[in-house]
Amino acid sequence: MLFRTKKLARVFNSEKLLVQVYGPDNARLIMRRMSVLNAVPTLAEVPNTPPERRHELKGDRAGQFAVDVKHPYRIVFVPVGDPVPKLADGGYDLARITAIEILEVEDYH
């Protein structure tokens, strides 16, 4: 798992910093979501139903995915690969995506 910035990696790897930056409730849920993201071998195995609710974003966030934290916040990430595995129809082959890069925790609505 990669992170967009070193600062983000430092925050995500410290429970204390997660609480300082996102508050205790969000920090607890971020840690839960990260344990799921780290435990599964492919993106297809991250549940697309609550509580994780993995979903692909659209519009100006096309190519990004998110999992729910505490409404309205989401962990936003992109698949990593060279090239990123795609299906014949151009969509992402979630069963072959084995790495992601965390971009941010945000309310993008």
Q: Domains of the chain: which residue ranges?
A: 2-106
Other Cβ atoms less than 10 A from the Cβ of 18: the count is 21
- Nearest 5°: phi and psi at 92? -75, 140
CATH topology of domain 2-106: YaeB-like fold (3.30.2310)
58 three-class SS:
coil
Compute the distance between CA of residue 99 and CA of residue 81 in angstroms, rounded to an integer.
Answer: 7
pTM higher than 0.75, yes or no? Answer: yes
In this predicted model, what pLDDT tens digit does every residue of 26-74 receive, in sequence order? 999 999 999 999 999 999 999 999 999 999 999 999 999 999 999 999 9
